[in-house]
Amino acid sequence: MDITQMEQITPIQLYELMLKNHNVLMLDVRNEDEYEAWKIEGKFTPDTVNIPYFEFFENEDEAFSRVERDRPIVVVCAKGGASDFVALRLGEEGIKAANLSEGMIGWGNLYIHRVIVQTPEFEIYQIDRTARGCLSYVLISDGKAAIIDPLRHTEKYTDFLELKEASLALILDTHGHADHISGAPALSELTGAPYYLHPYDGIHPFDLLPAKLVYRMLHDGMKFSLGDLLIETVHVPGHTLGQVNFLVKAPSGRSFVFTGDNLFIQSFGRPDLGGQGQSWAPLVYNTIFNTVVERIPSDALVLPGHFAKHDEANEDGTYSKPLSALWKENEDLSRLNEKETFINFVLAHLPDMPEQYIQIKRINAGLAAPDEDEASELELGKNICALSTAYE
């Protein structure tokens, strides 16, 4: 793709551009604080300059002097309007610039589907809302599908299942999410497929109110079959009290573990998003160094609920790693494997708790119903569910 010939660039085109090394300059024309709060990142993040759009008519000469003329330029704003305006102004000055259509909103709503495994017996796909670092999964076997941790835009899943000619049999949340609005209740209502959540996450941890949701209750050891696949629930409280891992076994003996916000490729889920960091931090230690060690096969492929940084991805773009490799390559696991060290470190390095996480938890418990604007605003920015977001 030659972006010097493009007037508009779509979110997926920008994503593909950033997969390879490039010489693009990103011109972000939002306000400084909006820019600081949430920037576009990719495997190869462009050099970026932040010049609010009104500087291009209020302080024109200086604004233009800050734009390098010899590189391809992509202009970005919140919704794509102001950036289009600036791209046209640049064009008038003889500077070629492409506008990111739909802006940060469109970028935030981009979902990437990746193949984890495709065999005649079963398929597993990783569905990545890449701007937010949120990962969800579709499992298919014998024409039946399960979705793990579906995100808010349910059509991203229903369209995909239609393409795969699979019918939705099971909707699973690894836990009650704080950073994003779950698509599970809406998918369940839409398709009639049952929604499973651990009941401990059916209580809002701050309001101490029971969820107003139609869901079925998970428990430790609970098993499901999906075609040739066997799914086992492993309760790993700590990030939330109802956090579970789903261990999935194929007839060939291959196994996969969907860890939600328990284990990530780098770091692990912070214990304080329910307001109880002190008492939940030891639980996180126990689940990782006891429950996971004892119950998850070391050759199981770990498939997490988030990534914090793009360099956690494999060469093929997927976020996954065998558990045996994770013990060595996940730096927080290898250096914090002693309980007291672990707890002290965790409590000394808790990231900020975004205020909107409490409201998102209300929505996920059915205690509040946002309109599209509120939902979109609550979900601005990257997740900060991993402990390491505090120090990296």
Partner 1 sequence: MTDIAFDEQFDARGLMCPMPLVKSRQAIMKMEVGKTLKIVATDKGSVKDFQGWAKMAKDVELLAQEEEMEGDKKLFVHFVKKIK
| Binding site residues, partner 1, CB under 8 A | 31-34, 52-55, 57-59, 77-79, 81-82, 85, 373
- The Cα 262–Cα 245 span in angstroms is 8
Partners of 100 in the beta sheet? 9
Given the residues 24, 25, 27, 77, select the one marked as catalytic.
77
> Smallest distance, Å, CB 181 to partner 1?
19
- The Cα 147–Cα 32 span in angstroms is 38
Instruction: Considering the complex, state which of residue 75 and residue 244 has its C-beta at the smaller distance from partner 1.
Output: 75
Partners of 50 in the beta sheet? 28
| Run of H or E including 322 | strand 321-322
> Smallest distance, Å, CB 63 to partner 1?
10
CB 86 within 8 A of CB 57: no
238 conformational bin, left if phi > 0, alpha if psi -120 to 50, beta if neither = left
> Smallest distance, Å, CB 49 to partner 1?
16
Q: Phi/psi at 160 (nearest 5 deg)?
A: -65, -40
Instruction: Considering the complex, state which of residue 140 and residue 378 has its C-beta at the smaller distance from partner 1.
Output: 378
> Smallest distance, Å, CB 168 to partner 1?
35
Instruction: Considering the complex, state which of residue 30 and residue 235 has its C-beta at the smaller distance from partner 1.
Output: 30
> Smallest distance, Å, CB 33 to partner 1?
8
The verdict on whether 134 is a catalytic residue reads: no
> Smallest distance, Å, CB 74 to partner 1?
17
Instruction: Considering the complex, state which of residue 37 and residue 115 has its C-beta at the smaller distance from partner 1.
Output: 37
- The Cα 219–Cα 223 span in angstroms is 9
Neighbours of 325 (CB within 10 A): 14
- List own/partner pairs for 341-350 with CB under 8 A and 24 or more apart: 342/281, 342/284, 342/285, 342/289, 343/281, 343/282, 343/285, 346/270, 346/271, 346/277, 346/281, 346/284, 346/387, 347/277, 347/278, 347/281, 349/387, 349/390, 349/391, 350/270, 350/272, 350/277, 350/387, 350/390
- The Cα 240–Cα 279 span in angstroms is 11
Instruction: Considering the complex, state which of residue 30 and residue 198 has its C-beta at the smaller distance from partner 1.
Output: 30
DSSP calls for 228-276:
TEEEEEEE-TTSSTT-EEEEEE-TTS-EEEEEETSB-SSSBB-S-TTS-
Instruction: Considering the complex, state which of residue 7 and residue 16 has its C-beta at the smaller distance from partner 1.
Output: 7
**Which residues are designated catalytic?**
77
